[in-house]
Amino acid sequence: MNRQKKLQQLFKAKAKKASAKLAPKSKDKYISKAEREKLPAEAAQEPSLSPES
């Protein structure tokens, strides 16, 4: 492989990685089973903590 082709290949690879980082993520962040069990419990506690007007 000649030098120019190798350089172009490197530049394309770097550009591809950079654009992939900027692209929106298609999958949601993973939430563990323990965290999923905590969420409803925390949501139930929040309304009781809100100040009453």
> What pLDDT is attached to residue 39?
87
Q: To 5 degrees, how large is the angle CA 11–CA 15–CA 19?
A: 175
Count of all residues that appear for the chain in the document: 53
> What pLDDT is attached to residue 6?
96
> What pLDDT is attached to residue 52?
56
- Listed in sequence order, the residues at least 6 apart from 1 whose beta carbon sits closer than 8 Å to its beta carbon are 9
> What pLDDT is attached to residue 41?
83
pLDDT tens readout for residues 1-53: 799 999 999 999 999 999 998 888 788 888 999 999 998 888 887 765 555 55
What is the value of pTM for the model shown?
A: 0.44
CA distance linking residue 53 with residue 44, whole number of Å: 20
